[in-house]
């Protein structure tokens, strides 16, 4: 077992890194996908505020193994309907 760390960053803040023991890097990659999916489920409205989220998966030495980037953009068609005024 090795310890893998999961850190989520947005333009406005960094969420605390959490370490978890997993059997290998494949398990860490799968765990990252599950965690980002859960964050999107729980905080679905916030992705539209920050627009860019990034999850880094690192090993015990701090080496980045995997990165998941989530971006939310409005098309010109929908952005026009959200203009103030």
Structure tokens given for 77: 């068609």
Sign of CA dihedral 79, 35, 38, 11: negative
- Please list the residues that pair with 8 across neighbouring strands: 55
Most trustworthy range by pLDDT among 24-28, 50-54, 70-74, 75-79: 24-28
Which H or E element spans position 39? helix 25-42
Domain chopping of the chain, boundaries:
2-74
**Model pTM score:** 0.80
**pLDDT tens per residue, range 23-65:** 999 999 999 999 999 999 998 888 877 688 999 999 999 999 9
| Dist CA 31 CA 80 (whole Å) | 38
Name the more confident of 82 and 57.
57
Nearest to 54 by CA among 26, 14, 19: 14
Sheet holding 52-58, edge to edge: 18-22, 2-9, 52-58, 64-71
């Amino acid at each position: 077992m090795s310890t893998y760390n999961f850190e989520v960053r947005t333009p406005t803040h960094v969420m605390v890194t959490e370490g978890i023991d997993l059997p290998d890097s494949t398990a860490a990659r799968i765990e990252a996908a599950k965690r980002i999916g859960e964050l999107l489920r729980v905080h679905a409205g916030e992705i539209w505020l920050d627009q860019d989220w990034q999850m880094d998966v690192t090993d015990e030495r701090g080496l980045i193994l995997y990165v998941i980037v989530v971006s939310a953009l409005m098309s010109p068609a929908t952005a026009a309907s959200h203009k103030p005024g």
